[in-house]
Amino acid sequence: MTRQIYRDPGAGAIEFGKQYVIGHKEFDLLSMSRLLDGDLHDPTDKRVKRCDYCGYFWRDDSLRNTRKTCSEECKRGIRTLQRRQQRADQELLNPNPKPKKRTLMDDYVYWLEYPYWGDEYSMLKVGWKYEVPHKASTIDYIEAKNELYGEGNRVKPKRVIDYHGDNRDDF
């Protein structure tokens, strides 16, 4: 007989176990082992089965009685184990994957105190996206629009400032 591996019980297993625990004054370790062995429930009930992930008994309430896990957490755990197994199998079948394709950002050394580009071509190809070169007239145009619209892209209200040419208004 194979030994059953138990993980944290899912919601379905907890609900199933509650019906045997709640209301009984003496539920000791012997009763717990009988519950885990499947001696407390009706063995002819086809809807009571073991969860494929956590290993506890639970009652399948699905229409066709085809679920394999007692809860969504256990279903997620099964899929995680399957993905882990698939990755391990893939690593065994293909131990040396293709080398990573070199990108232009690989020439940028950012982790030092003074970051630098290792290749001028990469610097020009990548850097233009962040530091766009403009002519002086274009920069003046952008500044004028920023003054007119401000940060929120709305025209600032025009304010009339009374000024008579002398310091009459200063008090």
Residue 40 CB partners (closer than 8 Å, separation 6+): 20, 31, 34
Q: Is the pLDDT of residue 147 over 70?
A: yes
* Residue 132 sits in the same domain as residue 73: no
> 99-134 burial by CB neighbour count: b if 16+ within 10 A, else e?
eeeeeeeebbeeeeeeeebeeeebeeeeeeeeeeee
* Residue 92 sits in the same domain as residue 125: no
* Residue 82 sits in the same domain as residue 131: no
Percent of the chain residues topping a pLDDT of 90: 42
* Residue 18 sits in the same domain as residue 77: yes
* Residue 90 sits in the same domain as residue 121: no
* Residue 122 sits in the same domain as residue 61: no
Q: Is the pLDDT of residue 14 over 70?
A: yes
Structure tokens at 46: 């086809």
Q: List, in sequence order, every beta strand (DSSP E) within 65-125.
A: 108-109, 116-117
Q: Is the pLDDT of residue 152 over 80?
A: no
Is residue 50 within 8 A of residue 56, CB to CB? The reply is: yes
Q: Is the pLDDT of residue 98 over 90?
A: no
* Residue 107 sits in the same domain as residue 141: yes
d(CA 32, CA 4): 15
What is the reported pLDDT for 168?
A: 61
* Residue 82 sits in the same domain as residue 146: no
Tell me the residue range of the domain where 69 lies.
Answer: 1-97
| Residue 110: band (very low, low, confident or very high) from pLDDT cuts 50, 70, 90 | very high
What is the reported pLDDT for 5?
A: 84
